[in-house]
Structure 1
Amino acid sequence: MFAGVRHSDNEEKRLEELRRYKILDTLAEEEYDELTSLASQLCGAKVSLISLIDRDRQWFKSQVGWDLGVRQTTRDLAFCSHTILDPDRPLVVRDARVDERFRHNQLVTDDPNIVFYAGMPLVTQEGYALGSLCVIDHEPRDLSAEQLAALEKLARQVVRLFELRRAVDRSHKLLREREAAYNVLRDFSYVIAHDLKAPVRNISQAGEFLAEDYGDLLPEDGTALIGMIQQRASDASRMIEGVLKYSKAAHTLRIENNRVIVRDIIEQAVRQVEVPAGCAVEYVGEIETLHTSRIAMLQIFQNLIGNALKFNDKESCSVRISSHLDADEGYVFAVQDNGRGIPPQHLEAVFRLFHSAVSDNDAMRGHGVGLSIVKRLVEALGGTIRIASEEGLGSTFTFTIADH
């Protein structure tokens, strides 16, 4: 039996690093099997393995030509336990039957009767050798410099697959954490906004009663104070409505993709907004259908069209919607109006929650949430949104939707 298992000086840290990749005892994967198959072909060897060295065992992530019918052996039998001791160079054993380290090894003296072994360490970015990509044969062999170089390149590809797996796992974890945090924030904002509606409404009504019943008895500054209370209550009410709309929009992000007829969506959006007399909304786009979230698209168009109509200051106003398919950006839509336009100092902030480009005393002031909802929905659909505007001439909102 093969004697003793040698460990590197950083064995505990190496094992911690191995655990962090969460790859031990996972199912076979085609990407790894393709690399072991290629290693076997390039080196002309019957067997190729991706072996990871755990505390007391070696475990095979991939195996080609291995007839033992198992995915692991004890560590004391592992040639790869020697390979990881020197992460900077391969371990090549021309004939294990005459090598003092291996000639009594059960894998040499019994089935599968290993004779030739060449292992390339699988070294992480932190410098830890987790195992090896190795080739094995049943007769003495030598590898050329070119074959060893090819084996080294394949070993680096194995490690890249490890890193990719780790990155995906981190991404999934961050996504779950963000989703959980967002759900808490969404529910919290909805509950708070909903519970605040009644008291704010009561404050507004109390202000109205005071003005009607006692307005003539109050001095001028008292009347002004009542007016300020009513104005602040109105502002708070708009913000609460905005939070509720923003919270409700989050549910749209979970809608599955559907076949969407663009013209039908736009016509439905127009029906749900108030189109003033003398205003026209037309669709002149190239795109007829796409696969995406119908509800998200409806909310996007409803907000953009409604916003364009609400802030249009022309007797004859128009909203023109165009679209085309771009090789790089996917589906591209543009909503163009001939309204009042947006001041330059507000262009970068229009998508910010509660931001409004009109003054506080402007009769057209809203809750500043619609464009925030649009941006969130567009990004959820894999796209981006941008704006071009000129005061007095109008604005164009251009957004993209990923081409699935």
Structure 2
Amino acid sequence: MIKPAFPSNENQRLKSLEDLDIFKSIPEESYDNITRLASFICETPIALISLVNSNEQWFKSKVGVDFTGGERELSFCGHAILEPENIMEVQDTTKDLRFIDNPFTHEDGHGIKFYAGVPLRNEKGVALGTLCVLDRKAHKLTNDQLYALKALGKQVESLFELRRKNIQLERATKNLNETNSVLREFASNVSHDLKMPLANMILTSDFLKIKYKDLMDEEGLERLNYLKQSGLKLSDYISGLLEHYSSSNSSIPTYEEFFLNDILEDIIDLLQIAEDCEISIPDHNLKIYANEVVIGQIFMNLINNSLKYNNQEKIIISIDCVENEEFFTFSVKDNGIGIPPDKLPFIFDLFAIVGDKDRKGKTGHGIGLSTVKKLVTGIGGEVHVDSEVGVGTQFTFTSKKANLLD
């Protein structure tokens, strides 16, 4: 008997098998169907999907045997994986030096006299095991049977690849959930931290107005009133964000009836639009039934984006909304610097930065538009961008009507 050698890529092979997380896994019908077909087509009483690790082979699926594996040094499959691109057929094991005195060859009248195994490779061509058929008498596969065995082996490899991708997806989903949880906690903490300074600002404006009203002219008092109102509006938005994040794990979104132009006017007041900016809102004050906090936050980010990334003497921003039976479709169009074509596919990725500095010479942090994408997705909508460098940008997003989300 000749013990199977170790492949030159043994370390890589074992790492690939470990990453697949399939060794000693529970039985699966999709694999069992393949071994049954292999046994039937090749007219052999035994068919196995065998995986080979550092010191043993284990059967992911089996037909015709009761045991689940054995020592690698006694395995036929340990030899088969040495040539990953070729099927190994041993028509009579009693005449092959590798197996002539193997215990499995002479097992009390039940010894294995025939073996044919096709190596099962991963996406990099590394052999992890075999799909094999065995018989207790000498045997020879026809060309059609050899072809069918190879084809069935490809099906097992497809199952391996699907399993690998599912594992990657599960890991990515877990990482994404953990990241979102950290970001949600961060946003919540920041919002809480802002509440107290805002409260102090509101109270201080009242204090100054009462204590020094006789020393201030009309313009000064108006500015104090504006300071207080801005603080109150910002406080309302922060409260809304806190409510949004605290209920983000709930399956019941918060919907309310509101008028679009009302929240747009509040946002424009809050952003302190300068005289060199012209913002047009819809002529018709459309009644919306949706998540007001989310819609407001999306518009806040998009309008602020249009204000920052604009180098024109006069900033022009146009806001519009249309509705159909399923969606509200909102748009924010500006005459800003535009987005380079090579940046458009990644503009909604977290921490993606266009590269141009804003109107005040500052570089963005790449969070705002990724937040927009997350918020739009959360209300059952989609967001798109059309842009031309030096001409302007239009963001369009949809919100699925509330009655269609029930």
**Structure 1-normalised TM-score?**
0.67
Distance 1:51 1:403 in 2: 48
Note if 1:377 corresponds to 2:378: yes
Distance 1:188 1:313 in 2: 38
Partner of residue 216, structure 1: 214
Partner of residue 135, structure 2: 137
> Per-residue displacement from partner, 1:150-177 (whole Å, max 9, x unpaired)?
1111111111111111211121122222
C-alpha change, 1:399 and 1:54, in structure 2 (3 Å) is farther
C-alpha change, 1:202 and 1:126, in structure 2 (3 Å) is same
Partner of residue 243, structure 1: 241
Question: Structure 2 unaligned runs (5+)?
Answer: 264-281, 291-323, 336-347, 350-370, 385-396
> Per-residue displacement from partner, 1:320-354 (whole Å, max 9, x unpaired)?
99xxxxxxxxxx962569xxx855449xxxx99xx
Asked if the contact 1:333/1:400 (under 8 Å) is kept, the reply is no
> Per-residue displacement from partner, 1:341-371 (whole Å, max 9, x unpaired)?
855449xxxx99xxxxxxxxxxxxxxxxx99
Specify the code of the residue in structure 2 equivalent to 1:44: E
Asked if the contact 1:385/1:399 (under 8 Å) is kept, the reply is no
Distance 2:98 2:205 in 1: 93
Specify the code of the residue in structure 1 equivalent to 2:201: I
**2:177 alignment partner, one of 176, 179, 187:** 179
**1:156 alignment partner, one of 146, 154, 157:** 154
Asked if the contact 2:59/2:68 (under 8 Å) is kept, the reply is yes
Specify the code of the residue in structure 1 equivalent to 2:164: R
- Secondary structure at the aligned position of 1:306 is classed as strand
> Per-residue displacement from partner, 1:91-117 (whole Å, max 9, x unpaired)?
000011111111111111005411111
Note if 1:5 corresponds to 2:7: no
Asked if the contact 1:385/1:398 (under 8 Å) is kept, the reply is no
Distance 1:403 1:152 in 2: 48
Asked if the contact 1:83/1:121 (under 8 Å) is kept, the reply is yes
Q: Which structure 2 residues correspond to residues 385-404 of structure 1 after superposition, within 5 A?
A: 385=382, 397-398=399-400
Distance 1:58 1:306 in 2: 66
Aligned residue pair count: 312
Partner of residue 38, structure 2: 39
Partner of residue 20, structure 1: 19
Specify the code of the residue in structure 1 equivalent to 2:158: R
Residue 243 of structure 1, CA deviation = 2.3
Specify the code of the residue in structure 2 equivalent to 1:73: G
Distance 2:159 2:90 in 1: 27
Identity %: 31
Partner of residue 197, structure 1: 195
Distance 1:396 1:148 in 2: 55
Distance 1:342 1:237 in 2: 26
**Structure 2-normalised TM-score?**
0.66
Asked if the contact 1:46/1:136 (under 8 Å) is kept, the reply is yes
Residue 310 of structure 1, CA deviation = 4.4
- Secondary structure at the aligned position of 1:31 is classed as helix
Note if 1:102 corresponds to 2:102: no
Residue 227 of structure 1, CA deviation = 5.2
Aligned residues: CA RMSD: 3.8
Specify the code of the residue in structure 2 equivalent to 1:212: I
- Secondary structure at the aligned position of 1:209 is classed as helix
> Per-residue displacement from partner, 1:264-317 (whole Å, max 9, x unpaired)?
xxxxxxxxxxxxxxxxxxxxxxxxxxxxxxx23xx3xx25x42548468659x7
Residue 222 of structure 1, CA deviation = 5.3
Specify the code of the residue in structure 2 equivalent to 1:19: E
C-alpha change, 1:169 and 1:103, in structure 2 (3 Å) is same
Specify the code of the residue in structure 2 equivalent to 1:78: S
C-alpha change, 1:77 and 1:250, in structure 2 (3 Å) is same
Distance 2:151 2:138 in 1: 23
Question: Structure 1 unaligned runs (5+)?
Answer: 256-294, 322-331, 353-369, 388-394
Q: Which moved more, 1:206-215 or 1:30-39?
A: 206-215
Partner of residue 116, structure 2: 118
